Structure 1
Amino acid sequence: MGFVPLPLVLTLLSAVPPAAAPLPWSDARFRELLVDGTITTMEKACLDPMAAGTKRRKQQLRDRLLAIHPVPASFELTMRNASALLTCGSPEGTALVLNRFIPAHGDERRRWLTLRWQAAAAALDHPQAALALRRLVDGNVAALDQITLTGSRNGLDTLAEHEASRGRSQAAAFVLLQGDLQGAAGARRRGQAAEWLAATDPEQADQLLEVALDKAASEQAWGLAMDLLQLQLRLQLAAGGDGERPRLRLERLAARLDDAYTLLQLNPETNAPPSLRSPRESGGHAAVGEPTTAPSL
């Protein structure tokens, strides 16, 4: 079989008509969907810009999904209806549909509360989101540390974030401290709890940071240790202190890790070194491997 000449190939390709671009749904087709559509077909239409490419059409789909089963016949029907409303951008509608059905204990309740949390989180309704997560574990907050939510989010960390977002910083810190505090991850949690507690209990916040620093050092997580020392310095200065101790420790660790960027931040009056680098660049503290001798904090 011989080769086809390139000019002939180009000619044949140019003769192929381009695929027709999809057209928006006609008003008649859309009205038919609203009358005869199922939860599944309307949910798909919500995601199709040809079907629901305008705010008006999308709102019509939401209204229809909210009204299609005013008295749900089963748990599964309720969940499909509520989930479709969430897909269609109506977390408030999701909550309304869920409230029409009281789930049984066990798996039904778990699924119901998880979707209730998703809807509240999407609506930025932090009080309801926090309540759903607490109910999910019957108030046993520590159990949330073993639960992975949508998007690979840790349940305990997520509850703490909701509490902080609603202005309950002390409650947020308390939630974090109920979880696993081992290793570098635990040190990071202590640091976050300290930041949330600093305004109301600076002494406890500083104690948490000291423990977190010890954990970071034992794990040789020097990048984390730098972050914790910077946080400690910032919090002490905000509380009216001089921040001398964390500053000295930060300078010592930055010098040991050859972190010229942090040293310049701490001493801006000095001249910039010729090879100044960010801590996130190669050679910065965020990229430092395990040193042969452990820096002291």
Structure 2
Amino acid sequence: MPASATPFSPRARQPFYRQPVYRQPLYRLRCLQGRVAIGVGMGLVALGGALPAALWAKAPPAAPDPVLAALLRSGDLSALNGACTAALERGDGLQLRRLQQRLLTIHPAPQPLAVVLANANSLLSCGAPDGALAVLGRVSPAAGAERAQWLVLQWRAAQAGLHHQLAADALERLAAGNLASLASLELPVGQRQDGTPVTRPALDLLASHLESLGQRQRAAEVLVSSAQPGAATAVRLSQAVALLDGLPAPEQDRLLELALEQAAAAGAWGLVAQILDQQLALVSSTPESAARVRERRLRLSGGIDDAYGEWLLRRRDPAGSARQLELERQLRSPRAPGGHAAPPTPISQP
């Protein structure tokens, strides 16, 4: 046997920390980990073994809420709605999911339409629009008042869930081929601080859904279908022109002239000014048409005391420099007396 392999060789008698194997980084790291683990384990044993049990034991499950459990077993929609409202205010996602799941299974199909509508409305109040759509899908009422209620609730659920195509389909089915009828149907889109609902005409909502889907042509057609006289139709016609980028200039002028008539008939002179500004901004307008619209806008500015609007029109006209200077003198700073940001006038004491 070679001398280097004997247990009495100088290499065999070297301390272990000087031997080649221990000097490798990985081997030293493992030895260090083992020593730390041994030390920690001995320390825990010295504490009587209570700490390892506390560390290794699983956390006990939370005790079930008996009130919530009883509520989930009940079929009281009013109580479930109240619990949903409270869970939403607290931000209790776990309890909210349990309530939503209960509302999904509380009235299995088949059920009368009134029960289905109440169930879907509860799911909407509980922050589960997709669940409301699932419940509404269990029935399909025939044409009539009940179907209208069902479609309105379907639109509300689709609107809350940002399902624009489904929301647009519900409104178009609600119109039943008469889009103009949607202009008089007010639908809730929010709630004020005092609890009163904020509403918008269904016609405008349908156009908004279609625009969100990229269907600008169809959205413009919906807006143009408005037959209500007044400022609302003027705004819709103006929006339709803005949506139809490739509309020929004569058709643009025709729609905007109709909008001007409606706005002027309603006495909405600020809206008239906006529509005239829109006509001026159209790149497809001919020079003759632009000059005519500009003259009308200048006359309107004088009639409604719109010095700023007139100044905007004349500031690029070298011939109107004198009038421009006069208009600039009329324009006051917001903090000047009479401006909207002026400090309040002190009240003199008697």
- Smaller-chain TM-score range? 0.7 to 0.9
Residues 51-82 of structure 1, C-alpha deviation per residue, up to 9 Å, x if partnerless? 85412222221122112223242211111110
1:258 to 288, 305, 311: 305
- Equivalence for 1:43: 81
**Structure 2 unmatched runs, 5+:** 1-63, 189-197, 317-323, 341-350
Alpha carbons 1:46, 1:52 under 8 Å: kept: no
Q: Answer yes or no: is the 8 Å Cα contact 1:52–1:58 preserved in 2.
A: no
Cα distance in 2 for partners of 1:143, 1:218 equals 22
Secondary structure of the residue that 1:47 maps to in structure 2?
Answer: helix
**Partners of 1:40 and 1:124 in 2: CA distance:** 26
Cα gap change, 1:202 to 1:91, in 2 (>3 Å) = farther
1:190 maps to a residue whose letter is L
Task: Please tell me the residue identity of whatever aligns with 2:107.
Answer: H
Contact map agreement 1:261 1:276 (CA 8 A) in 2: no
Residue of structure 2 in register with 1:230 after alignment: 277
Partner of 2:122: 84
User: Relative CO higher for 1 or 2, CA cutoff 8 Å, sep ≥ 6?
Assistant: 1
| 2:220 alignment counterpart | 173
Listed as ranges, the gaps of 5+ residues in structure 1 are 1-25, 285-297
1:69 to 107, 114, 118: 107
Q: Is 1:54 matched with 2:109?
A: no
**CA offset digits 1:125-147 (Å, max 9, x no partner):** 22111111111232222332343
Q: Bigger radius of gyration, 1 or 2?
A: 2
1:194 aligned residue:
241
Q: Distance in 1 between matches of 2:226 and 2:158?
A: 23
- Counting aligned pairs with the same residue, the percent is 39
Cα distance, 1:176–1:51 mapped onto 2, change above 3 Å: closer
Residue 221, structure 1, aligned to residue 221, structure 2: no
1:48 aligns to what SS in structure 2?
helix
Superposed, 1:1-297 pairs within 5 Å as 27-36=65-74, 38-49=76-87, 53-150=91-188, 151-197=198-244, 199-203=245-249, 204-234=251-281, 236-237=282-283, 244-245=290-291, 246-266=293-313, 272-276=328-332
Contact 1:190 1:208 (8 Å CA) reproduced:
yes
SS of residue in 2 equivalent to 1:43: helix
- The alignment partner of 1:60 has SS state of helix
Deviates more, 1:102-111 or 1:90-99: 102-111
CA distance in 1, matches of 2:95, 2:125: 15
TM-score (structure 1 length as normaliser): 0.73
Residues matched between the structures, number: 253
